Amino acid sequence: MTEPELCPDTLEVSMDWDRKAKRAATADKLNYTGMLLTCPARFVIADELPFNFGESPNYEYFNRVALQPQYRRVPRSTLKRHTQQAYYAYRGYLMEMFCTYDGCVSLTSDTWTSTFGEPFVCVTVHWIDDDWLLQKRIIYFEAMEEAHNGFNIKTCIVNCCKNFHLVDKLFSISLDNATANRKAMNFLKDDPSFKLLLGDSLMHVRCCTYILNLCVQERLDELRTLLELIRGIIRWIKEARYAKRIFKLKCEEYGLRKKVIVLDTPTRWNSTYKLLHDAIAYFDVLTNMYNESQTGWAVHYQ
């Protein structure tokens, strides 16, 4: 069969269709390429992964074999750039949304010092959306240039509220009872840019968890000697190979399943409760180990 001749009208329609198809294919390719860069960026942000995650040959092999043969590795610089773009895009969205938000918001803030001695501050905003659902977003998370004093904390909160158009929408701020936070709240109450509801009676909300933790820590001081002994034994079991073997044999002797007892974080009393709960369950094993191996335990820690 010979190829049929195309009349001018048919040829023009065919060429126009080809141009549209090529433009659509190009758009699809661009959308697909953007998706290949946006999705890993969201993945890295949500799971707190390093930027070199996209360069993993194993991850590339998984995607190409199981999902999409056209997938290629994403360089760390590209992944970092798209992660930053996603951050600034959502930050801009929040600024625009709060600019027209007809309601009040509440803030929670916390400060701490890293293991390298750097002071950090974090501010979270809470609000109710149009569907009456409680929402929260971290809008400020940065290292402070100076120490955690009342004026510096107040300056960070004021700048954050001005950037997100929250100065006239602030209902309350939840902080712990640290001296610097109390001073920061006094500075905020005297700031003329804030419009406070009912004066300043609702402004400062003391963190109930912090107060509860102080109460529990005060009572736990009565168990300090016992807690230090239990923590020492658990550290000994974790760090000494022969102690791990003894712990396993003692668990078998008492008919208990070997368990990894997690050390507590002293400032989190619920983790201390978990430590005591496990220590009571393995009381006979730990007591027997301490009595029989007191010398080894003392040498390891004292």
**pLDDT tens-digit readout, 44-54:** 888 888 888 87
Question: What does the pLDDT read at residue 81?
Answer: 86
Biggest CA pair distance of the chain: 102
Q: Cα–Cα distance between 37 and 34 in angstroms, integer?
A: 5
pTM of the model: 0.64
Helix axis angle for 241-253 and 294-301, nearest 10°, is 150
**pLDDT tens-digit readout, 193-252:** 777 666 666 777 777 777 788 888 888 888 888 888 888 888 888 888 888 888 888 888
Angle at 166 between CA 163 and CA 167, to 5 degrees: 95
CB 117 within 8 A of CB 187: no
Question: What does the pLDDT read at residue 77?
Answer: 86
In this structure, what is the dihedral angle of CA atoms 43, 46, 50, 52, given to the nearest 10 degrees?
10
Question: What does the pLDDT read at residue 125?
Answer: 93
CB 60 within 8 A of CB 73: yes
CB 185 within 8 A of CB 157: no
- Secondary structure letter of residue 167 according to DSSP: T
Contacts of 113 (CB under 8 A, 6+ apart): 119, 120, 148
In this structure, what is the dihedral angle of CA atoms 51, 60, 85, 115, given to the nearest 10 degrees?
-20
Question: What does the pLDDT read at residue 295?
Answer: 53
Question: What does the pLDDT read at residue 12?
Answer: 39
Question: What does the pLDDT read at residue 200?
Answer: 65
**pLDDT tens-digit readout, 232-242:** 888 888 888 88
What amino acid occupies position 35? M
Question: What does the pLDDT read at residue 6?
Answer: 36
- Segments in the chain below pLDDT 50: 1-32, 298-302
- Secondary structure letter of residue 221 according to DSSP: G
